[in-house]
Amino acid sequence: MLNKISELVSRSLLAFSAFLAFLLSFLVVADVVGRVVFNSPVKGTPEIVSMSIVIICFLQASYAIRSGGMLRVDAFLNALPFRARETMAAVGCVLGILFFAVIVYGGIDPLLHAWNSNEYEGEGALRVPSWPARAAVILGCGLAVLEYVLSGLIHIKAALGKTPPPEGAAL
* DSSP code string of the chain: -HHHHHHHHHHHHHHHHHHHHHHHHHHHHHHHHHHHHSS-PPTTHHHHHHHHHHHHHHHTHHHHHHTT-S---HHHHHTS-HHHHHHHHHHHHHHHHHHHHHHHHHHHHHHHHHHHTT-EE--TT--EESHHHHHHHHHHHHHHHHHHHHHHHHHHHHHTTSSPPPTT---
Mean pLDDT of 99-124: 92
For residue 56, the number of C-alpha atoms closer than 13 Å in the C-beta half-sphere is: 15
Summarize pLDDT for 144-161 with one digit per residue, the tens: 999 999 999 999 998 888
Q: What is the mean pLDDT of residues 130-149?
A: 95
Mean pLDDT of the chain: 89
pLDDT for 87 beyond 80: yes
Q: Which residue has the higher pLDDT, 146 or 70?
A: 146
96-112: average pLDDT? 96
What pLDDT is attached to residue 78?
A: 80
Residue 164 pLDDT exceeds 90: no
Provide, rounded to the nearest whole percent, the portion of the chain with pLDDT above 70. Answer: 94
Residue 143, pLDDT score: 96
